[in-house]
Amino acid sequence: MRVLVTGGTGFVGGWTAKAMAEAGHKVRFLVRKEARLHTTVATLGVDVSDYAVGDITDRASVEAALDGCDAVVHSAAMVSTDPAEADRMMAINLEGTRNVLGAAVDRGLDPIVHVSSITALFRPGLETFAADLPAAGGSDGYGQSKARVELYVRALQDSGAPVTITYPGMVLGPPVGDQFGEAAEGVRWVLLTRSVPGRSARPGWWSTFATSRLYIPRSWNPAGDRGAIPRVGIGSRSASWLTC
């Protein structure tokens, strides 16, 4: 199976591409700059010869990248904590997801995997995370953008599209070349500033190895029972089959 990966030069996307390649799938990357492949995912030993240069906000380049592909993992997203970037982040993340997943649905790709985040479902006072929670996104720009995207992707699911949503949390592990991931950068900041999280802090740690492999067991077998696990996340009943 040939799988298009967006965000493959990032932390989660890079490890996911490696896991898929090791499972015998052919990986194609959609990248803005070809050089980034060699400083990131290629350092994991992944073949990066199959790639398309483009941007998730450019529908034409997305369509070109999908030519000849059987499935897609959409993990690309803009991440920023700067309030001034909130509107731009909303536009990029929503338009990009509509382009990638919308084109994949139109072409009949199966499966289609959207990498969301626990941030999309977060709300103050939340005690237990489950993948069937309504989209909320908290109050920050990134969370709001992920929640808005979540509504779009769930609408695709409700229409019968073969879409699986995953909700990784704070993912830690070895770097993907020069990419350490947002969680690792956060830990670094805590150590450098000697900050101590409050008693209400409940981080949900995910291993890169567990996260990348959760896309493989059923998601990549169209004949399998993928439809029974449309949403996968920490604490979700739909994730009971995982052995992370």
| Domain residue ranges in the chain | 2-174+202-233
Distance between CA atoms of 129 and 118, rounded to whole angstroms? 8
Residue with tokens 């052919």: 26
Q: What values do phi and psi take at 63, rounded to 5?
A: -60, -45
What six digits make up the tokens of 155? 């609408």
Q: Find out whether 115 and 168 touch, Cβ atoms under 8 Å.
A: yes
pLDDT bracket for residue 112 (50, 70, 90): very high
% of residues, the chain, pLDDT over 90 = 50
CA dihedral 167, 113, 90, 177 (to 10 degrees): 80
* Distance of alpha carbon 31 from alpha carbon 53, whole angstroms: 5
State the pLDDT at residue 56: 98
CA 120 to chain centre: 12
pLDDT of 235 > 60? The answer is: no
What is the pLDDT, as a whole number, of residue 79? 85
Superfamily of the domain at 2-174+202-233: NAD(P)-binding Rossmann-like Domain (3.40.50.720)
Task: Dig out the tokens for 15 from the structure.
Answer: 């490890």
Three-class secondary structure of residue 176 per DSSP: strand
Confidence label for 40 from pLDDT (cuts 50, 70 and 90)? very high
DSSP letter at 47?
-
Segment (H or E) for 35: helix 35-39
Looking at residues 83-92, what average pLDDT do you find? 94
Whether residue 162 has pLDDT greater than 80: yes
What is the predicted pLDDT for the residue at 213?
A: 47
H helix or E strand, kind and range, residue 154 = helix 141-158
- How many whole angstroms separate alpha carbon 161 and alpha carbon 148? 18
Query: Of 151-155, 187-191, 216-220, which has the strongest mean pLDDT?
Result: 151-155
At 44-73, the pLDDT tens digits run: 999 999 999 999 999 999 999 999 999 999
Q: Calculate what percentage of the chain has a pLDDT beyond 70.
A: 70
- pLDDT of 181: 52
What pLDDT shows up at residue 171?
60
Asked if residues 105 and 161 have their Cβ atoms less than 8 Å apart, the reply is yes
Do the Cβ atoms of 6 and 13 come closer than 8 Å?
yes
CA angle 125, 129, 135 (to 5 degrees): 80
What is the reported pLDDT for 210? 44
Q: Residue 16 half-sphere exposure, CB side, CA atoms within 13 Å?
A: 30
**What is the rounded distance in angstroms from the CA atom of residue 168 to the CA atom of residue 234?**
7
Residue of 15 and 171 predicted with greater confidence: 15
**Which pLDDT does position 179 carry in this prediction?**
63
pLDDT of residue 227 exceeding 50: no
